[in-house]
Amino acid sequence: MPQTLAELSDRLNVFRDERDWAQFQGLKNLIVSLNLESAELLELTQWKDDAAVERLIGDPGFRQKLEEETADVLLYLLMICERSGIDLAVAAAKKIDLNATKYPVDKSRGNSKKYTEL
Amino acid sequence: MPQTLAELSDRLNVFRDERDWAQFQGLKNLIVSLNLESAELLELTQWKDDAAVERLIGDPGFRQKLEEETADVLLYLLMICERSGIDLAVAAAKKIDLNATKYPVDKSRGNSKKYTEL
Amino acid sequence: MPQTLAELSDRLNVFRDERDWAQFQGLKNLIVSLNLESAELLELTQWKDDAAVERLIGDPGFRQKLEEETADVLLYLLMICERSGIDLAVAAAKKIDLNATKYPVDKSRGNSKKYTEL
Amino acid sequence: MPQTLAELSDRLNVFRDERDWAQFQGLKNLIVSLNLESAELLELTQWKDDAAVERLIGDPGFRQKLEEETADVLLYLLMICERSGIDLAVAAAKKIDLNATKYPVDKSRGNSKKYTEL
């Protein structure tokens, strides 16, 4: 099993090149596809309130779909980063640090306001 | 620097708990937020054709935004998986295998048709 | 005040042509922009549960944003239809009729299942 | 055939009440569904560049789907406005006027910059 984002990205490149698909996978197309996969995740919550979605976490059929759709989002995200030369693990770690400065513990503890409103 | 998805997820949990934010981060809310971050990525391509977006990859300002938005998508994806007990690295590896059976090399080589049309 | 979709669409064409914007408003670009405006509408609900969103309907600031974002979605939708020669009022009326056959009253009354599951 | 947004909205209310669906159609749910329909419109452009999408306008199968998806977006938009007491025709006309002040002809003619960058 691949453990790191780099290993997953390498497997995706092999998959892509075996099918000669790099020609279709321009950055804009990949970003559009990421949005479509995010929407498929959102569709799993359609007509369900927050509590109903929480309850469904324990449902095997729902969970199977959730696993597939979250995986799809990650795969497109890795393709976007590969296409544009971004190290996603590094970018994510930096973003956590940035968020920590935008949302200081003392101001944001226990409230969900956006940093622009703090 | 965190190297694996599990390490990034652990850092996110610390960030969340320092701010007492688990109360807001129900699964439906996290999925909505993931969609909003995907849309911010899409906004980077607004009014630009495919070639223009490819050219922007070399632009430092664009790249900075791309790094931040791809990071945001990953962070919400990790929170979704943490909330629902999904191992994202395993799910992604399984999905690559599943895609390999849905898109056999001989049928899908050099074309972008959906598996339902192959 | 314009009363019909056709009158609104005519005003949009004047607005566009005064600014020489037809060159940017290809169908794909318009559809991407429609998705961005839909996401801005979704952002108004971020971190809020169903009941909280219902309560906000009476809040003047929220309502102002809701009016602007729903308007933006309609404006892009009209531009999409103008670009592709679709009469949106006719298409919508036909779709209501189609939905009536997909969701017969006796099978769908009081449940939110998709027609594929009825 | 309904000609105005108000007539279409009235037909939707009849459709909804015959099925006893008002109970599901809270504002947040309707906004989520609008986003899903917008994504279905976006899916029609997946893996296609701008020129390919323009060419498809003349394709009867594509056009049929485009009519159905644009109709779906309008129907949810009307339900959102009905739920929140917004007159969509008035809101759209006001937004065109607001856009005219945000995008003065002399500054925005022939360029696609956002008003914040003008």
Query: Is residue B76 within 8 Å of residue B34, measured between CB atoms?
Result: yes
Say yes or no: C42 contacts chain B, CB-CB below 8 A: yes
Burial of B94 (0-12, 13-18, 19+ CB in 10 A): middle
Four-CA torsion C39, C42, C47, C50, nearest 10 degrees: -160
Among A35, A47, A49, beta carbon nearest to C35: A35
In chain A, which residues have their Cβ closer than 8 Å to the Cβ of B24? 112
Distance between C1 CA and the closest CA of chain A, angstroms: 35
pLDDT 10s digits, A46-58: 999 999 999 999 9
pLDDT 10s digits, C4-56: 899 999 999 999 999 999 998 999 999 999 999 999 999 999 999 999 999 99
Query: Is residue A81 within 8 Å of residue A109, measured between CB atoms?
Result: no
Q: Is the pLDDT of residue D38 over 90?
A: yes
Angle at D41 between CA D38 and CA D44, to 5 degrees: 155
Among D31, D45, D98, beta carbon nearest to C28: D45
Query: Is residue A47 within 8 Å of residue D29, measured between CB atoms?
Result: yes
pLDDT 10s digits, B35-67: 999 999 999 999 999 999 999 999 999 999 999
Task: Between B89 and D114, name the one with better pLDDT.
Answer: B89
Say yes or no: D35 contacts chain B, CB-CB below 8 A: yes
Q: Which two tokens stand for residue A106?
A: 């003392």
| pLDDT value, residue B97 | 94
Give backbone dihedrals phi and psi of D86, rounded to 5 degrees, phi first: -95, 135
In chain B, which residues have their Cβ closer than 8 Å to the Cβ of A5? 4-5
What ipTM did this prediction achieve?
0.94
- Given a contact as 3+ CB pairs under 8 Å, which chains touch A? B, C, D
Distance between B14 CA and the closest CA of chain C, angstroms: 20
pLDDT 10s digits, A91-114: 999 999 999 999 999 999 998 888
| pLDDT value, residue B1 | 62
Say yes or no: C73 contacts chain D, CB-CB below 8 A: yes
Contact between chains at D47 and A24 (C-beta distance less than 8 A)? yes
Return the SS3 of B95. helix
| pLDDT value, residue B115 | 84
Q: How far is CA C103 from CA B37, C118, D65, D105, in A?
A: 34, 8, 19, 47
Chain C with chain D: Cβ pairs closer than 8 A: 207
Non-local CB neighbours of C64 within 8 Å, separated by 6+ positions: none
Q: How far apart are CA B3 and CA B9, in angstroms?
A: 11
Residue in chain C closest to A35 (alpha carbons) equals C35
Say yes or no: B79 contacts chain A, CB-CB below 8 A: no
Determine the average pLDDT of the residues in D86-112. 93
Say yes or no: A49 contacts chain B, CB-CB below 8 A: yes
Say yes or no: A64 contacts chain B, CB-CB below 8 A: no
Interior/surface letters A41-52, b for 16+ CB within 10 angstroms, e for the rest: bbbbbebbbbee
Contact between chains at D68 and C91 (C-beta distance less than 8 A)? yes
* Residue B117 banded pLDDT, cuts 50, 70, 90: confident
| pLDDT value, residue B61 | 97
Handedness of CA D102, D97, C8, C12 (dihedral sign): negative
Contact between chains at C89 and D41 (C-beta distance less than 8 A)? no
pLDDT 10s digits, C77-91: 999 999 999 999 999
Residue in chain A closest to D33 (alpha carbons) equals A46
Percent of chain C scored above 70 by pLDDT?
97
